Structure 1
Amino acid sequence: FIRIILRHGRGVGLYGRCKAYFGTVEAQGKETLHLHLLLWLEGHLSPQDLRDKISTSEFYKKKVLKWLESIIMTGFPSSNSEHLIYADRMTRVRHTDMGNPHPGTLMSPLILQFTHTFWTEFQEDVTSLLYKYNWHEHQATCWKYLKRGQEKKDANCRLRMDGVTRSVSDVDPQTYAIQLRRLHPWLASYTDVVTFLLRCNMEIKFVGSGEAAKVFLYYVTDYITKPSLPVHAGMAALSYALKKLSEKAESGTISSAVSAVMTAVNSMMGRQEISHPQVMSYLIGGGDHYTSESFVTLQWGSILRFVE
C-alpha cells in the first residue's frame, strides 16, 4: 500500500504526492489486524485555510469536490454489464447464498491481459468485494456509547451509517464543511483501485474544512494513539495492579505516592494481552505502527527527575 499505492518518496501516488504518513496496527475483537492511517498530501491546505479558499473561490470549490469524488466512492461502480446477480443493489448479495467462493480468495482480472472487457470485469470484481467487505449492518458496537433511554436506530449509529443519501457534493453555506455525496445508504466509503488491489475492507475519510474538520482531526489522532487495552483486560490488569500495590505497601517497599503510581502502571502494562496475528506480525518484522517520520524517544526517568 505504502510503496505502490501511496508511492511515498517516489512521486505522485493514487491520492497525490504523499508527504508523510502515520498509522497504527490494531487487532479487533476477531483478532484480525487492521491499520488506521493518516496521510499528509503535498499542497493540501489546513482546515482553516481550505475553508477560507472555498468560501471565496467557486472555481476552487468545484475543483476540490471533483478531486474528492474521484478518490472517494460512496456507491457501487457503474457498469454496462447486464449481469443480473447484482441488479438490486439495495439488497445485500452474499457469496454463500449464491454458492460462490469467497470473493477475497479469487484472482482479480489481470490488466496484463487487457481486453475491451477488462473494465467491466474490474467493476464486477469490485462490486462483489463491496458486498462482502463494505456493506454495513448494525452490530452491538454501533450502540455501545448510547446513553440510557436512547433508541437503537439508524440515526444513532456510532459509525454514522444512518442510511441517509445525498445525490451531489456541496459545501455547507453556514459552516463551510464539505459534504460529499452519498450514493448508497449502507456502503462505507472506499477507493475502487485500493479495494481491487488489496481485496479487503477499507474506509476513507477526508479531513476537510472548518470546525467540523478540526473536530474530526482530533477524533482521528485520539483514536490512532489510544492504548490497545480493552475493558475486560483493563479490569483484570487493574485488579492485578492493586494486588501488587497492596503487597508492596504491606512490606513497606513503597516510599512515595509517585512510586505507588509507577508500580500500578507497570503492573497493568505487563498484563496486556495481544492476539496471535499480532505476535506473528511482530515476529516477521511487521511492527505495531508505520510512519515516514522520526520521533524523539521520551525518557520517563529524566522527566520524573526533573519534576521531583
Structure 2
Amino acid sequence: MHSSVALYFPGVDLDLDKILPEALETSYERVKTIATHPVASAKFFNCLIISIFKSLVLGGVLGPTKAYFGTVESQGREEDCDRTNAPTGDELSIQETERAEKEVIPVCLPTPNPAHDDFQRIFRNDVVRIVDTSNIHRHSATCYKYSKVKPDGLKTCRMRMPRALVENAHIDVSTGQITMRRSRP
C-alpha cells in the first residue's frame, strides 16, 4: 500500500496536502497499520473504486458508456479485486453477439444439463477438479523476494503460505477482523 490516502482511513494523522515521502513510515509499517484495520482497508478500497468509476466510467474517459456492472472478489491473498464491465457505444448488439457466438468453436465442453439426474455430482466433480488443479499455491523465487533468513535458516513466503485451515468463515466483532473459510493450506 503506497497510497498515503490508505493511511487516512485507519486514523493516521496526515496532512494529505503537505505529505512528503520521507515523512511516511517504511513500507512494512504502512502495510502493518493498514492490515490491522480491515474495515478501514475496505473503506479505502471503496473510495478508490468510486474515484475510478467517477473519472473513467462516468467521466467519459472510456467514451460514452451505456451501462456498467462490477463485482468485487477476494483473491485469496487477503486483498480484494474489482472486475468491471462498462460497454461503450461501439460494442456489438446482442443479436450480433449471438450470431458471432454461434460461429465460435468452444474451447471446453458445455456444462451438463441441470435437469439431468446426476447434474449435482458432475458439477461438483468439475468444480473440485478445477480448484484442485488451478487454485493451489506453489512456491517460486518471488515468494521469498523480500524475506530475511530466520535463525533456523528458513525464509518466509511473502504470500504467507501455507496458512492455517479455517472450517467456517467468521467475523471477530471486537476487532472487525474477517476470517474466510480455508480448506487448503
Task: Using structure 2 for the length normalisation, give the TM-score.
Answer: 0.38
Q: Which has the higher contact order (CA 8 A, sep 6+)?
A: 1
Q: More helix per residue: 1 or 2? A: 1
